[in-house]
Amino acid sequence: MRDVEKTTLYLPADLQRALRDASDRTGRSQADLVRDALRSYLADQPRPKPTSVGLGRDPSLAGRDAEAWLKERWGRVRRAE
């Protein structure tokens, strides 16, 4: 098996029974079932959006001022085509 790290989970009794039953039915280890369930769950989670480049830190700055702010701090502003 590839490199893995041990993690301890505390499960409610009914979930532990369901996991044990699924393991018995499928012949797969409980750890394998948990890994697959976590992979599936995490794959469905939205990706985090990029954070602000600093504009959000200044409450007095409006979106319409963004280009001037960037030009002042970073130099020439390129426009997307």
Domain-located, residue 51: no
pLDDT for the residue 26:
97
> Do 69 and 55 touch, CB atoms closer than 8 A?
yes
Look at residue 77 and tell me if it is in a domain. Answer: no
The per-residue pLDDT for 56 is 60
pLDDT of 78 strictly over 90: no
Residue 8 lies in a domain: no
C-alpha to C-alpha distance for 74 and 68, rounded to whole angstroms: 10
Q: pLDDT (tens digit, 9 = 90+) per residue, 26-76?
A: 999 999 999 999 999 999 988 877 666 555 666 776 777 777 877 888 776
Contact residues for 8 (Cβ-Cβ < 8 A; gap 6+): none
Residue 48, pLDDT score: 77
Show the domain range for 17.
13-43
In a domain, 36, yes or no: yes
Q: State how far the Cα of 51 lies from the Cα of 63, in Å rounded to an integer.
A: 15
Assess if residue 32 is contained within a domain: yes
Q: Residue 49 has what pLDDT? A: 72
